Amino acid sequence: MSQRFASDSRPEWFAVFGIALVLFAGCSEAQPEGPETFPVQGKLVFTKGGEVKTLFDRQALVAFDSVEQAGVRAIGEIQEDGSFTVSTIKEGKGKPGAIAGTHRVRLDLDDSATRFVAPQFLDFQKSGITVKVPSDQPLEIKVWR
């Protein structure tokens, strides 16, 4: 079994993410409860041997795992152009953005898309990618096949 969201299964996270998106769309005035978050938008870029558009329509997510606050994760759907916006998921509740601090990053892909990226990018510990939130620099997640 892969090391996706620890003991959580991928389909459950996709369901939570979908519910969170619906809640955000319907409740633009009221802010959900939870930790303070900061807007995070970025872009996934292949540096060699792949194309972002191969991930589109394949339940492809970018996932952030907080280093300072265990169990706090943010996820965002990867769009056809590689862009993404993350939302924090904690205890089944969603909130736009990510909490402040350092985050490990990985891709969470359905089984039909895992062949399009190098395996290390599917694991928080092995990806080697970290980001700081908030940041005044454009966020670019670089991967390869």
pLDDT at 71: 87
CATH of the domain at 15: 2.60.40.1120
Residue 145 to residues 16, 57, 75, 81, 105: CA-CA distances in angstroms? 28, 18, 21, 17, 16
pLDDT at 141: 96
Overall pTM surpassing 0.95 (yes/no): no
Q: Are strands 101-108 and 130-133 parallel, antiparallel or unpaired?
A: antiparallel
Range of the domain at 110: 10-30+37-144
Q: Is residue 3 part of a domain?
A: no
Per-residue pLDDT of the chain (145 residues; tens, 9 = 90+): 334 444 444 545 554 455 445 444 444 445 556 679 999 999 999 998 888 888 877 889 999 999 999 989 999 999 999 999 999 987 777 899 999 999 999 999 999 899 999 999 999 999 999 999 999 888 999 999 9
Q: Is residue 1 part of a domain?
A: no
- Across the chain, the runs of DSSP E, i.e. the strands, are 41-48, 61-66, 73-77, 83-85, 87-90, 93-96, 101-108, 130-133, 139-144
Q: Is residue 4 part of a domain?
A: no
Q: Is residue 5 part of a domain?
A: no
Q: How many domains does the chain have?
A: 1
pLDDT at 94: 83
Q: Is residue 22 part of a domain?
A: yes
Q: Is residue 2 part of a domain?
A: no
